[in-house]
C-alpha cells in the first residue's frame, strides 16, 4: 500500500503526480491512497480529476488523514510512504523509488 501525501498548490507535487500515475498504471499488486494537503475539499477534488490515477483517497482534512500524517511523521510534500498490509513501513521515501527505478524493480524491492 502506498500512502501519497500531496497537494495541488505544491509545484513538486504537480511534477511528481503524473510520474506516479504512469507508475501505477504499469504495476499490479499495489494500491495508492491519497492524503490531501489541499486548502479545500474542492481543490482536492479538482486535483484528483486533473492529474491523479484511479486510486483511493481519504476524505479531505478528516481525522484519518490527520492521523496518517502524524503516524508517518509527514513534514513535507510530496511524500510517498510504502507499507505492508499490516501497516509495517517498508520505506518513507517511495518517491525516489518511483523516480529512480523501473516500476517492476521498485515493487520487487518493496516486497522483498
> What's the rounded Cα separation, in Å, for the pair 26 and 41?
29
Question: Among 29, 88, 17, which Cα is nearest to 57's?
Answer: 17
Rounded to two decimals, the pTM is: 0.95
- Which pLDDT value is given to residue 112? 87
From its phi and psi, is residue 87 left (phi > 0), alpha (psi between -120 and 50) or beta? left
- Which pLDDT value is given to residue 70? 96
Backbone dihedral angles phi then psi of residue 101, each to the nearest 5 degrees: -130, 165
* Higher local confidence (pLDDT), 87 or 83: 83
Q: What is the pLDDT of residues 26-44, one digit of tens each?
A: 998 999 999 999 999 999 9
Report the chain's C-alpha Rg in angstroms: 13
Query: DSSP secondary-structure letter at 72?
Result: T
Amino acid at each position: 500500500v502506498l500512502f501519497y501525501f500531496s497537494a495541488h498548490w505544491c509545484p513538486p507535487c504537480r511534477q511528481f503526480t503524473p510520474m506516479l500515475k504512469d507508475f501505477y498504471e504499469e504495476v499490479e499488486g499495489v494500491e495508492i491512497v491519497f492524503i490531501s494537503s489541499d486548502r479545500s475539499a474542492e481543490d482536492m477534488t479538482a486535483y484528483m480529476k486533473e492529474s491523479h490515477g484511479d486510486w483511493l483517497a481519504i476524505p479531505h482534512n478528516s481525522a484519518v488523514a490527520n492521523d496518517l500524517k502524524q503516524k508517518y511523521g509527514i513534514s513535507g510534500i510530496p511524500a510517498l510512504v510504502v507499507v505492508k498490509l499490516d501497516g509495517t513501513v517498508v520505506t518513507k521515501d517511495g518517491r525516489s523509488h518511483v523516480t529512480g527505478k523501473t516500476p517492476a524493480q521498485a515493487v520487487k524491492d518493496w516486497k522483498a
